[in-house]
Amino acid sequence: MLTKFKPGFRLDESRERSRAAAHAYTEGVAERLQRLPGQRAFWIMSMTASTYYGNFRPVSPWRWLFSVVVPVVIVCNGFKKKSLDHSGALGGLVVGFILTIANFSFFTSLMTFFLSSSKLTKWRGNVKKRLDSEYKEGGQRNWVQVFCNGAVPTELALLYMIENGPGEMPIDFSKQHTASWMCLSLLAALASSAGDTWASEVAPVLSKSSPRLITTWEKVPVGTNGGVTAVGLASSLLGGTFVGLAYFLTQLVFVNDLDISAPQWPIIAFGGVAGLFGSLVDSFLGATMQFSGLDERTGLVVNSPTQETKHIAGKPILDNNAVNLFSSVLVALLLPTAASGFWPRE
């Protein structure tokens, strides 16, 4: 039976009513925001973004507030506890804000990496001080270290917002291939950094055996770039898994349509693999492109060649920060592509 339309009826009338209602909502929110100092700029940015994406759902004021306040609190606490210096704190604010506004799962993964790494860096500091020639009290991170560990996740978070807008979504390659790839890529970068940090902070203290150079499998002194131990590799796996678990739990809380999406539990396993793989990549680069030498005067491993240094492995091409950056890039590019072929479908 054919439906009869009244004269003047428009097929898009329902859509126009929805737009009118949404517009009225945004006008009301805008009016309330104008009473709050400092929120007008955020509102303009939000409306610009919502216009770009072709909808009338701007970023909520609460999301803006959370994305600003929480990173500030965490960074200030890190600065107070000497986990960050002045430049590292400023860099951390930028990274924290972008990842938080983009996706709360990004935020929890970043915080899990940062907080756990900061704790482990200070753990048994008296022992590490005797083993590491470059040990710093409190393990303060500057802007260079923040950049080398946070540049890849920040870039991916920006691309994610350009592609999808801010918000959480399930990882489902059958429905959102590009967005899912970006999410896993960002997770891989953070899990890789966590795995490498956990290994370098735990293994020197707990390992009973001497590390072996990953390229030749020869025994090398503790602190040699590219040296691996069973304890270090296990720590890398646990560090990445910890970050993956944080991402997974956040998905359970904030994503609404998980019941019609692909299973999300592989996120945990993916984080563990990224942590282990990232540590191996970091070790290989460190063994080949980062200088390691034994200072015969102090008996400690150093990263710069001198007349008093006996060469152990590697060439003085990259420093530790550059190795971390290249490792993060490689893991972020390779693992999501591999995972997309094995990721379960709905």
- Positive or negative, the CA dihedral 164, 168, 169, 170 is positive
Q: How far apart are the first and last CA of the chain?
A: 37
Residue type, position 53, single letter? Y
- Averaged pLDDT for residues 97-112: 96
Tokens of 326: 């290249």
Please count the other Cβ atoms lying within 10 Å of the Cβ belonging to residue 296: 12
Please tell me the predicted confidence (pLDDT) of residue 9.
44
Burial class (CB in 10 A: 0-12, 13-18, 19+), 95: buried
Residue 230 confidence class, pLDDT cut points 50, 70, 90? very high
Please tell me the predicted confidence (pLDDT) of residue 44.
52
Cβ pair 132, 204 in contact under 8 A: yes
Please tell me the predicted confidence (pLDDT) of residue 13.
55
Report the distance separating Cα 185 and Cα 16, nearest Å.
39
Report the distance separating Cα 250 and Cα 167, nearest Å.
12
Residue 2 has pLDDT above 50, yes or no: no
Report the distance separating Cα 70 and Cα 48, nearest Å.
24
- Averaged pLDDT for residues 34-51: 52
- Averaged pLDDT for residues 74-98: 93
Tell me what the pLDDT averaged over the chain comes to.
85
Residue 40 has pLDDT above 90, yes or no: no
Please tell me the predicted confidence (pLDDT) of residue 33.
47
Please tell me the predicted confidence (pLDDT) of residue 107.
97
Coarse DSSP helix, strand, coil percentages of the chain, rounded to the nearest 5 percent? 65, 5, 30
Instruction: Please indicate whether residue 303 or residue 335 has the higher confidence score (pLDDT).
Output: 335
Does the pTM of the predicted model rise above 0.75?
yes
Q: Which residues contact 335 (CB under 8 A, 6 or more apart)?
A: 184, 185, 188, 270, 273, 274, 277
Residue 23 has pLDDT above 80, yes or no: no
Q: Supply the Cα-derived Rg of the chain in whole angstroms.
A: 24
For residue range 258-282, what is the model confidence (pLDDT) as tens digits? 888 889 999 999 999 999 999 999 9
For residue range 164-207, what is the model confidence (pLDDT) as tens digits? 889 999 999 999 999 999 999 999 999 999 999 999 999 988 98
- Cβ density class 8-21: b for 16+ within 10 Å, e for less: eeeeeeeeeeeeee
- Averaged pLDDT for residues 115-130: 82
Cβ pair 246, 112 in contact under 8 A: yes
Residue 149 has pLDDT above 60, yes or no: yes
Instruction: Please indicate whether residue 324 or residue 126 has the higher confidence score (pLDDT).
Output: 324
Please tell me the predicted confidence (pLDDT) of residue 148.
93
Report the distance separating Cα 260 and Cα 110, nearest Å.
27
Instruction: Please indicate whether residue 109 or residue 207 has the higher confidence score (pLDDT).
Output: 109
For residue range 293-302, what is the model confidence (pLDDT) as tens digits? 998 888 888 8
Please tell me the predicted confidence (pLDDT) of residue 260.
84
Report the distance separating Cα 72 and Cα 39, nearest Å.
16
Domain locations in the chain as residue ranges: 59-342
Q: In a 3-state reduction of DSSP, which class is residue 9?
A: coil
Please count the other Cβ atoms lying within 10 Å of the Cβ belonging to residue 207: 19
Please tell me the predicted confidence (pLDDT) of residue 6.
47
Report the distance separating Cα 281 and Cα 291, nearest Å.
16
Residue 56 has pLDDT above 50, yes or no: no
Please tell me the predicted confidence (pLDDT) of residue 16.
57
For residue range 132-148, what is the model confidence (pLDDT) as tens digits? 656 666 567 899 999 99
User: Could you give the C-alpha distances from 228 to 57, 194, 199, 315, 335, in angstroms and in order?
Assistant: 50, 16, 9, 18, 21
